[in-house]
Chains A and B, each alone.
Chain A
Amino acid sequence: MGLLSCFRSTVLRKCSKGSSGMSRFLYTNNFQRNLISSGGNESYYGYFNRRSYTSLYMGTGTVGGITSARIRVPNVGCEGFMCSSHLSITQRNSRLIHSTSKIVPNSEIQNITTEMVKTPEVSRWMDQVIPTIAPCDAAEPWQLGFQDAATPIMQGIIDLHHDIFFFVIQIGVFVSWVLLRALWHFRSKMNPIPQRIVHGTTIEILWTIFPSVILMFIAIPSFALLYSMDDIVVDPAITIKAIGHQWYWTYEYSDYNNSDEQSLAFDSYMIPEDDLELGQLRLLEVDNRVVVPAKTHLRVIITSADVLHSWAVPSLGVKCDAVPGRLNQISTFIQREGVYYGQCSEICGTNHAFMPIVIEAVSTKDYGSWVSSQVN
């Protein structure tokens, strides 16, 4: 089918949107990307990495507890003046902004790196941060439709929804017309004595065949998309384990360790509303993000340690239950770099609404830098 092959770049469409909420013009991803790119042990992000990302076990024979540090990673907010000026730039030169958001001049990176080492406060280096628009995929306020797709699966889901909605509108209008017509023409004034036996062979045949044809037109693309989601087709390059707890997520990267005690594991707690920086999203930000490379096949293994959870990220088109004692696998292929937000989607207790999921897709080189900073 042509569903998966007609993937369109949604970055331009995002930039060309007229009225957008404040959440569309965050600089979070750009800050995170530069922090990861700087690397090394002397950088500002490395300092937070060593404190906030804790391994499950300290040494070979030492069985340690799970340390969950909750340290705020500062993000760049968006002031009113900057936001309004970039809105006008966005409406006029969307392509220029699209190109600018990826290629960063050399001197700017050097300034950011220098400032990050000197003063870690947000307000001081906010003026020097590059005013670019990074795709942070979270729902706009009162958004009703889908978020922008970042995977072929989500693009297929959106296209399938458009196809089925076409039939739904037609069927709804037709059935409403038949119903209202029957209510009008068979009212009691015109038909005081209702007929008991009414039969027509032709209309019986018609209203049996046409629904079957419509269902076939709905089922064929639906089944094509469903079976294209199968996991077995491609060998993944990275395996991430998402373990649900009450009420946070634990992530493990175990591809880079040489023994059972060196796993790259960290807890991902929601940043409370009182600790949010300017521009951060309420009920969506976490202290430790899941960093994955873009344009790479990923395997996410989802399980739970206590009760049922569900790992759902709308932009990636994934939703999978976390069942204790069972490993559920989903495969995904993120096609563009950005920050994607999700939430737990299986009621799991009092704080079910306060265990978000944040995935940051970076380039493969930045991912290597991030893993190097974590493993060492």
Chain B
Amino acid sequence: MAETAVDKSQSLAEEYYVKDKQTAVVEKPVEVKEVENPEEAASEEPVAEKTVEETTPVAPAVAQESSEVTPPPAEESTEEQSSGNVEENSGNEDAAEETPEIKLETAPADFRFPTTNQTRHCFTRYVEYHRCVAAKGEGAPECDKFAKYYRSLCPGEWIDRWNEQRENGTFPGPL
């Protein structure tokens, strides 16, 4: 968990660093493109490692984290060109976008629920979160992961109904 988080934060910092360079040095696009390539090569390696790690375990891994799939290099070049054009025009937008960091993360696939029906998956994630809160106390950092998982999987109306049932003491799950 910590290692992958550190890696992602570094990659995000590198991306922002590249963006700053692009805004600063507009007259030399060739150097910017040259700089981008090794960083992407460096970023591809942890993705490959993650894919290797994900395929190895057969038991259900709750700590698995999803990552963005790396597109083929031919398509990357076209995306680079299009994104470069957009970035060169709007410097203010980059400043606005950098403030909130949005990670493409969601609840991982769980081998306990391999079928199309994910109702029990949502319910189980909710119960796991509240068990974690009961065991480690409110606001524990270990429980944030479970909170993100059940928020990704459960509809908002279900969560509100379950929260109301918990307050009334009529929640049917094993909390």
Give the B-binding residues of A (Cβ under 8 A).
37-41, 56-57, 63, 102-106, 109-110, 113, 230-239, 241, 243, 252, 254-257, 260, 263, 265, 293, 295-297, 299, 301, 303, 305, 320, 325-330, 333, 363-365, 368-369, 371-372, 375-376
> By the criterion CB–CB under 8 Å, are B66 and A256 in contact?
no
Bound CA–CA A328/B108 (angstroms):
16
Find chain B residues with CB under 8 A from A330 CB: 116
B86 interfacial contact with A, CB 8 Å = yes
Bound CA–CA A241/B155 (angstroms):
7
Task: Report which of B78, B85, B102, B154 forms a contact with A372, defined as CB distance below 8 A.
Answer: B102
B146: min CB distance to chain A, Å: 13
> By the criterion CB–CB under 8 Å, are B78 and A40 in contact?
no
B149: min CB distance to chain A, Å: 10
> By the criterion CB–CB under 8 Å, are B89 and A109 in contact?
yes
Question: Chain B 145-159 against A: per-residue CB contact (8 Å), 1 yes, 0 no?
Answer: 000100111111101
> By the criterion CB–CB under 8 Å, are B106 and A40 in contact?
no
Task: Report which of B86, B97, B118 forms a contact with A329, defined as CB distance below 8 A.
Answer: B118
> By the criterion CB–CB under 8 Å, are A365 and B83 in contact?
yes
> By the criterion CB–CB under 8 Å, are A235 and B71 in contact?
no
Bound CA–CA A157/B159 (angstroms):
37
> By the criterion CB–CB under 8 Å, are B82 and A254 in contact?
no
B75 interfacial contact with A, CB 8 Å = yes
Bound CA–CA A332/B97 (angstroms):
27
> By the criterion CB–CB under 8 Å, are A104 and B85 in contact?
yes
> By the criterion CB–CB under 8 Å, are B119 and A254 in contact?
no
Task: Report which of A232, A237, A255, A305 forms a contact with B67, defined as CB distance below 8 A.
Answer: A237
> By the criterion CB–CB under 8 Å, are B89 and A243 in contact?
no
Bound CA–CA A231/B111 (angstroms):
10
Bound CA–CA A263/B158 (angstroms):
13
Bound CA–CA A329/B97 (angstroms):
31
B168 interfacial contact with A, CB 8 Å = no
> By the criterion CB–CB under 8 Å, are A40 and B96 in contact?
yes
Bound CA–CA A110/B82 (angstroms):
14
Question: Chain B 129-172 against A: per-residue CB contact (8 Å), 1 yes, 0 no?
Answer: 00000000000000000001001111111011001000000000
B116: min CB distance to chain A, Å: 5
What range describes how many residues of B lie at the interface?
35 or more
Find chain B residues with CB under 8 A from A265 CB: 156
> By the criterion CB–CB under 8 Å, are B86 and A109 in contact?
yes
> By the criterion CB–CB under 8 Å, are A103 and B156 in contact?
no
B27 interfacial contact with A, CB 8 Å = no
> By the criterion CB–CB under 8 Å, are A328 and B156 in contact?
no
Which chain A residue shows the least CB distance to B54?
A235
Find chain B residues with CB under 8 A from A368 CB: 97, 102
> By the criterion CB–CB under 8 Å, are A103 and B78 in contact?
yes
> By the criterion CB–CB under 8 Å, are B66 and A236 in contact?
yes
5 further contact pairs, Cβ within 8 A, besides A236-B66, A299-B106, A363-B82: A39-B90, A230-B114, A231-B109, A255-B151, A327-B154
> By the criterion CB–CB under 8 Å, are B156 and A260 in contact?
yes
> By the criterion CB–CB under 8 Å, are A239 and B85 in contact?
no
> By the criterion CB–CB under 8 Å, are A239 and B106 in contact?
yes
> By the criterion CB–CB under 8 Å, are B102 and A371 in contact?
yes
Bound CA–CA A80/B121 (angstroms):
53
> By the criterion CB–CB under 8 Å, are A296 and B163 in contact?
no
Which chain B residue shows the least CB distance to A99?
B78
> By the criterion CB–CB under 8 Å, are A376 and B100 in contact?
yes
Find chain A residues with CB under 8 A from B122 CB: 327
> By the criterion CB–CB under 8 Å, are A301 and B118 in contact?
yes
Which chain A residue shows the least CB distance to B55?
A233
> By the criterion CB–CB under 8 Å, are B116 and A364 in contact?
no
Question: Chain B 52-80 against A: per-residue CB contact (8 Å), 1 yes, 0 no?
Answer: 00100000000011111101000100110
Find chain B residues with CB under 8 A from A105 CB: 85
Bound CA–CA A113/B89 (angstroms):
10
A97: min CB distance to chain B, Å: 15
22 contacts between A and B (CB under 8 A): A56-B156, A57-B156, A102-B78, A235-B66, A235-B67, A236-B106, A237-B106, A239-B152, A256-B102, A263-B156, A265-B156, A293-B104, A301-B118, A301-B155, A326-B119, A328-B116, A328-B117, A329-B118, A330-B116, A333-B69, A371-B102, A375-B100
> By the criterion CB–CB under 8 Å, are A363 and B97 in contact?
no
> By the criterion CB–CB under 8 Å, are B156 and A363 in contact?
no
Find chain A residues with CB under 8 A from B90 CB: 37-39, 113
Bound CA–CA A371/B90 (angstroms):
18
